[in-house]
Amino acid sequence: MTGSGPEVSRRSLLGAVGIGAAGLVVGGVAGATAASASDSLHEEASGIVPFYDGHQAGITTPPQDRVEIAAFDVTAPDRQSLIEMLQQWTSAASNMTAGQQAVAGGAVDGPPDAPPTDTGEALGLPASELTLTFGVGATLFRDATGKDRFGIANKRPANLIDMPAFPKDDLDPLLCGGDLVVQACANDAQVAFHAIRNLAREAHGSAVIRWVTQGFGRTAATSAPGQTTRNLFGFKDGTLTITDKEAKAQDDFVWAEASDGTPWMAGGTYLVARRIQQVIETWDRTSLEDQQKVIGRFKGSGAPLSGGTEFSPLDLTKTGPDGQPLIPTDAHVAVVSPEKHGGTRLLRRGYSFTDGVDDTGHLNAGLMFLAFVRNPATQFVPIQMSMSSSDHMNEYIKTHGSSLYAIPPGLTKPGQYWGQQIFA
Amino acid sequence: MTGSGPEVSRRSLLGAVGIGAAGLVVGGVAGATAASASDSLHEEASGIVPFYDGHQAGITTPPQDRVEIAAFDVTAPDRQSLIEMLQQWTSAASNMTAGQQAVAGGAVDGPPDAPPTDTGEALGLPASELTLTFGVGATLFRDATGKDRFGIANKRPANLIDMPAFPKDDLDPLLCGGDLVVQACANDAQVAFHAIRNLAREAHGSAVIRWVTQGFGRTAATSAPGQTTRNLFGFKDGTLTITDKEAKAQDDFVWAEASDGTPWMAGGTYLVARRIQQVIETWDRTSLEDQQKVIGRFKGSGAPLSGGTEFSPLDLTKTGPDGQPLIPTDAHVAVVSPEKHGGTRLLRRGYSFTDGVDDTGHLNAGLMFLAFVRNPATQFVPIQMSMSSSDHMNEYIKTHGSSLYAIPPGLTKPGQYWGQQIFA
């Protein structure tokens, strides 16, 4: 018995679509323009983001609709086993981000008496702009007992700091840390899930998942491009993020340089990942005016309470008729504003999550906060310390997960592997 | 302080999009065809499904990408309070399915000193084919203690049976039952979540969520229309479902008639909702041949192991060279096949879910099985009994939630309310 009747692979299906669309355009028949426009809209949501690049994809890539982010604990017995897993992961990642199976033909074309080497649920689905972004936690370099398991303790980046305890955090150790992290972003939840699942499968014997979160944001197919996503407080979230268009800000605030102290991290960055529960039933009983004072922005437009439009600068000194600042000093935007923190900025990828219902019949929901920064100690810690001490928003959130990972620079050609810069 | 600077409502944004597209077509400028095609693809994923109809939407509606389904326990002190909540829900549901806020202007245009009457996270997002499908459980008519809380015990539909215990089920009572259910389907997870959240918010004091599940399926923007979704076993799931094109099968197997014993249910149906955990790490270690024998179909094409293509009929008698049936007698498709069950069929809406990681570092994942049937006792119970007793697939699944709801007929005009047929 062979694997299947008509052979199906992600590659062949994609090929067929491409040829069909091209054929219409070349033929110049009536409707060609329509087909090509429709194809380009499809392409926007279903296209391929290049895997090989000086920086990893999934950082400055405009945010896709979904995230599936997983941290792993390494169980590999030795350095060589870990390297082999990372090599296998890299091969699978470069395949899957190209809209192919984890292993070519793995789902249905392999030997029938062996388990398939791709789990198959993404067969027929296009790449969907899948990006896989790989990072390492401090415990990879030296574990909790201080042991240098893989002979790489001297490679730990100077900026991969041990995060201080933030006063208001309510951390669950099982939602924090991990030796490795993979952020899968795609416009299709099934494609993102498939990617993490297949990496977890290939990790058998070398790593297990420590925590995983599935998140949702805007939907590319139905949203205006460039529109700021709203979080589950109903407010626009990420207005001040560094966009894919801001090359200088990326250089200043996102990409590590050799002069930062760790040459192998040049072109990489650091990921702060915080799982923040939003107490939405309390929030939903708060008046509009109070909600806006907590955030410091108008809920509808996203403009600062000091006036203007969404992207207008904050005026933290402007006062209202009562003599008080229009943006309260404990408003979220005031507390975290760049002007209070030496002008530093973050690159944000925000996704909401929901996780069933609590004991009292209220929806569990929150924000998977993902920020990429060049230097966590100077760009994130001071901001988070300010938030913990004085942000009015603390009444409405509980942070259960908090992690920091080094995100190595990108791979530039086949044959290289995730983490190679560390083991080289 | 008023709610916002520039006013934003879901309605006004949608209006603007509509006018823009129409303008291009009327203007007849170069690119008009492209704009119109692109608009129609947008429309497919972002459009409005009518709320008022003889049948409720979200049943024969082609499955949208996402589901957020929630069951509620009613806590309303009396019949009138419950009716008022249902009236408020109906108003919100008709608004939200039209791409509007739960309450017109509710997010940002209400009094600043009151909590907003819409939570706001869907501002700027189109309807996204949102459907809201309302149902009632047996406990609404008579609670677990036998009490007729709302004076409607005599209205319980004959076909809203107490389900028998199925031998292999491993039920968690908190994932089963509930007095009310709302299935929100949409092409945008944020729109589906927003709908359930706003209904839960309006239910304050009258109902609390008992269980909720967020599911994902194909993505309209990136999938070929009509393609069967794959479940997390990697197999096509729902090949034999009753489609939106099969009016006669719908009449035979989906829509209740007055002659079924409960006149007020004519045009309604019954929803079987089962939360089925898939033991994917065991499945992923199973050979391709064994996987295919468990299901009874080829993994790639979805064709029966007896041959043909995805939609070919099963040949349960056809044998291979070894004299054994090509489709094993304990294969899933053989056990549940219509020919074994008097030709009956189900209307399936299948969505996958994922739910973090278990204690051993494996992904929790599964299938939110949703089936609409005219008569659960004859159409579902015998099939499930066969599955429980002899389906090879039992080795790879654990059913934690199982519920049955009566889905009343649709509302045909504004002013009617969900459940009105029961309280009239």
User: Could you give the CA distance from residue B205 to residue A252 in angstroms, rounded to a whole number?
Assistant: 52
Residue range B181-187: mean pLDDT, rounded: 97
For B361, which of A187, A209, A363 is closest by C-beta distance? A209
User: Could you give the CA distance from residue B134 to residue B131 in angstroms, rounded to a whole number?
Assistant: 10
Are A213 and B356 in contact (CB < 8 Å)? Answer: yes
The pLDDT, as a whole number, for residue A141 is: 98
Are A288 and B111 in contact (CB < 8 Å)? Answer: yes
For B285, which of A115, A209, A301 is closest by C-beta distance? A115
User: Could you give the CA distance from residue A355 to residue A278 in angstroms, rounded to a whole number?
Assistant: 11
Burial (CB count within 10 angstroms: exposed 0-12, middle 13-18, buried 19+), residue B308: middle
The stretches of B98-188 forming alpha helices (DSSP H) are: 138-141
Whose CA is closest to A405, among A382, A371, A381, A379? A371
For A7, which of B221, B300, B308 is closest by C-beta distance? B300
Lowest mean pLDDT among B8-12, B308-312, B367-371: B8-12
Whose CA is closest to B379, among B333, B331, B340? B340
B1 has pLDDT over 70? no
B218 has pLDDT over 80? no
Are A308 and B108 in contact (CB < 8 Å)? Answer: no
The pLDDT, as a whole number, for residue A225 is: 61
A15 has pLDDT over 90? no
- Higher pLDDT, residue B100 or B3: B100
The pLDDT, as a whole number, for residue A18 is: 31
Instruction: Give the DSSP H/E element, type plus range, for residue B132.
Output: strand B131-136
- Indicate the pLDDT class of residue A219, thresholds 50, 70 and 90: low
**Long-range contact set of residues B140-149: C-beta below 8 Å, sequence gap at least 24:** B140/B74, B140/B179, B140/B180, B140/B422, B149/B74, B149/B79
Which residue on chain A is closest to B40 by alpha carbon? A38
Who contacts A159 (Cβ-Cβ below 8 Å, separation ≥6)?
Answer: A256, A260, A261, A262, A265, A270, A374, A375, A376, A377, A406
> Of A68, A190, A322, which to mutate for an interface test with B (greatest number of B Cβ within 10 Å)?
A190
Q: Which of residues 349-378 of A touch B (CB under 8 A)?
A: 352, 354-357, 360-363, 365
A31 has pLDDT over 70? no
B199 has pLDDT over 60? yes
Which residues in B lie closer than 8 A to residue A355 (C-beta atoms)?
Answer: 355-356
User: Could you give the CA distance from residue A4 to residue A109 in angstroms, rounded to a whole number?
Assistant: 7
Burial (CB count within 10 angstroms: exposed 0-12, middle 13-18, buried 19+), residue B151: exposed
B242–chain A nearest CA distance, Å: 22
Lowest mean pLDDT among A90-99, A294-303, B21-30: B21-30
**B349, B216 Cβ separation under 8 angstroms:** no
Lowest mean pLDDT among A338-352, A372-386, B195-209, B255-269: A338-352
Are A280 and B119 in contact (CB < 8 Å)? Answer: yes
The DSSP bridge partners found for residue A136 are A180, A406
pLDDT digits (tens, 9 = 90+) for A394-415: 999 999 999 999 999 999 999 9
Residue range B29-36: mean pLDDT, rounded: 31
**B269, B373 Cβ separation under 8 angstroms:** yes
User: Could you give the CA distance from residue A327 to residue A308 in angstroms, rounded to a whole number?
Assistant: 13
User: Could you give the CA distance from residue B327 to residue A192 in angstroms, rounded to a whole number?
Assistant: 33
**A309, A303 Cβ separation under 8 angstroms:** yes
Instruction: Give the DSSP H/E element, type plus range, for residue A354.
Output: strand A351-357
Residue range A226-246: mean pLDDT, rounded: 91
> Of B68, B233, B284, which to mutate for an interface test with A (greatest number of A Cβ within 10 Å)?
B284
**A147, A72 Cβ separation under 8 angstroms:** no
Are B222 and A355 in contact (CB < 8 Å)? Answer: no
Which residues in B lie closer than 8 A to residue A235 (C-beta atoms)?
Answer: 120
Are B34 and A31 in contact (CB < 8 Å)? Answer: no
Q: Which of residues 97-156 of B touch A (CB under 8 A)?
A: 107-116, 118-126, 128
Please identify which residue in the block is written with the tokens 């047996």. Answer: B138
- Indicate the pLDDT class of residue A3, thresholds 50, 70 and 90: very low
Are A123 and B234 in contact (CB < 8 Å)? Answer: yes
A350–chain B nearest CA distance, Å: 13
Whole-angstrom CA distances from A259 to A29, A178, A262, A423 are 57, 27, 7, 20
B24 has pLDDT over 50? no
> Of A101, A222, A298, which to mutate for an interface test with B (greatest number of B Cβ within 10 Å)?
A222
Burial (CB count within 10 angstroms: exposed 0-12, middle 13-18, buried 19+), residue B248: exposed
Residue range B387-402: mean pLDDT, rounded: 95
Residue range B7-17: mean pLDDT, rounded: 37
The pLDDT, as a whole number, for residue A14 is: 35
Percent of chain B with pLDDT over 70: 88
Who contacts A165 (Cβ-Cβ below 8 Å, separation ≥6)?
Answer: none
**B348, B241 Cβ separation under 8 angstroms:** yes
DSSP tag of A319: B
The stretches of A111-246 forming alpha helices (DSSP H) are: 138-141, 189-202
User: Could you give the CA distance from residue A231 to residue A234 in angstroms, rounded to a whole number?
Assistant: 5
Are B35 and A37 in contact (CB < 8 Å)? Answer: yes
A4 has pLDDT over 50? no
- Indicate the pLDDT class of residue A220, thresholds 50, 70 and 90: low
Who contacts B28 (Cβ-Cβ below 8 Å, separation ≥6)?
Answer: none
Are B108 and A288 in contact (CB < 8 Å)? Answer: yes
The DSSP bridge partners found for residue A401 are A275
The DSSP bridge partners found for residue A73 are A208
- Indicate the pLDDT class of residue B223, thresholds 50, 70 and 90: low
Whose CA is closest to B364, among A244, A214, A332? A214
Are A363 and B45 in contact (CB < 8 Å)? Answer: no
The pLDDT, as a whole number, for residue B144 is: 92
- Indicate the pLDDT class of residue B222, thresholds 50, 70 and 90: low
The pLDDT, as a whole number, for residue A46 is: 80
Instruction: Give the DSSP H/E element, type plus range, for residue B83.
Output: helix B79-97
Residue range B251-267: mean pLDDT, rounded: 97
Please identify which residue in the block is written with the tokens 């996203």. Answer: A302
The pLDDT, as a whole number, for residue A224 is: 61
B359 has pLDDT over 90? no
A185 has pLDDT over 50? yes
Whole-angstrom CA distances from A223 to A45, A121, A228, B190 are 11, 26, 10, 11
How many pairs of residues across A and B have Cβ atoms under 8 Å apart?
A: 324
Contact A18/B at CB under 8 A: no
A23–chain B nearest CA distance, Å: 17
Task: Give the rounded distance of the alpha carbon of B205 from its chain centre.
Answer: 26
Residue range A58-72: mean pLDDT, rounded: 95
Lowest mean pLDDT among A79-88, A272-281, A283-292, B357-366: B357-366
Which residue on chain B is closest to A66 by alpha carbon? B189
For A187, which of B3, B108, B222 is closest by C-beta distance? B222
Instruction: Report which residue type is found at B129.
Output: E
CB atoms within 10 A of CB A415: 9
DSSP per residue, B55-71: S-SSSSSPP-SEEEEEE
B251–chain A nearest CA distance, Å: 32
The pLDDT, as a whole number, for residue A319 is: 97
The pLDDT, as a whole number, for residue B44 is: 62
Which residues in B lie closer than 8 A to residue A126 (C-beta atoms)?
Answer: 222
Contact A321/B at CB under 8 A: no
Residue range A350-356: mean pLDDT, rounded: 93
Residue range B20-33: mean pLDDT, rounded: 28
The pLDDT, as a whole number, for residue B86 is: 98
B25, two tokens: 């077509």
Residue range A48-52: mean pLDDT, rounded: 97
- Indicate the pLDDT class of residue B8, thresholds 50, 70 and 90: very low
Are B287 and A112 in contact (CB < 8 Å)? Answer: yes
User: Could you give the CA distance from residue B16 to residue B36 in angstroms, rounded to a whole number?
Assistant: 15
Q: At what angle do helices B79-97 and B189-202 cross, to 10 degrees?
A: 160
Phi, psi of A407, rounded to the nearest 5 degrees:
-105, 105
A68, two tokens: 């599936």
Burial (CB count within 10 angstroms: exposed 0-12, middle 13-18, buried 19+), residue B146: exposed
Which residues in A lie closer than 8 A to residue B199 (C-beta atoms)?
Answer: none
Which residue on chain B is closest to A212 by alpha carbon? B356
B40, two tokens: 């129609």
B33 has pLDDT over 50? no
Cα-based torsion angle of the residue sequence A121, A125, A127, A132 in order, rounded to the nearest 10 degrees: -20
Whose CA is closest to B117, among A193, A291, A326? A291
User: Could you give the CA distance from residue B168 to residue B183 in angstroms, rounded to a whole number?
Assistant: 26
Whole-angstrom CA distances from A339 to A166, A298, A315 are 21, 20, 10
The pLDDT, as a whole number, for residue B3 is: 37
Q: Which of residues 170-209 of A touch B (CB under 8 A)?
A: 187-190, 193, 196-197, 200-201, 208-209
**A244, A59 Cβ separation under 8 angstroms:** no
The pLDDT, as a whole number, for residue A222 is: 54
B268, two tokens: 């309604």
Whole-angstrom CA distances from A318 to A235, A326, B117, B221 are 22, 6, 30, 45
Instruction: Report which residue type is found at A342.
Output: G
Contact B25/A at CB under 8 A: no
CB atoms within 10 A of CB B319: 12
Which residues in A lie closer than 8 A to residue B281 (C-beta atoms)?
Answer: 201
Q: Which of residues 251-310 of A touch B (CB under 8 A)?
A: 280-281, 284-289, 291-292, 298-301, 303, 305, 307-309
Lowest mean pLDDT among A3-7, A45-49, B279-283, B407-411: A3-7
The pLDDT, as a whole number, for residue A360 is: 85
Percent of chain A with pLDDT over 70: 88
Are A37 and B42 in contact (CB < 8 Å)? Answer: no
Instruction: Give the DSSP H/E element, type plus range, for residue A295.
Output: helix A288-295
User: Could you give the CA distance from residue B403 to residue B421 in angstroms, rounded to a whole number?
Assistant: 22
Residue range A308-319: mean pLDDT, rounded: 96
- Indicate the pLDDT class of residue B361, thresholds 50, 70 and 90: confident
Instruction: Give the DSSP H/E element, type plus range, for residue A404.
Output: strand A397-407
Mean pLDDT of chain B: 89
Are A1 and B292 in contact (CB < 8 Å)? Answer: yes
Lowest mean pLDDT among A143-157, A205-219, B149-163: A205-219
User: Could you give the CA distance from residue B228 to residue B250 in angstroms, rounded to a whole number?
Assistant: 19
B280, two tokens: 């994917």
Contact B11/A at CB under 8 A: no
The pLDDT, as a whole number, for residue B226 is: 67
Which residues in A lie closer than 8 A to residue B286 (C-beta atoms)?
Answer: 115
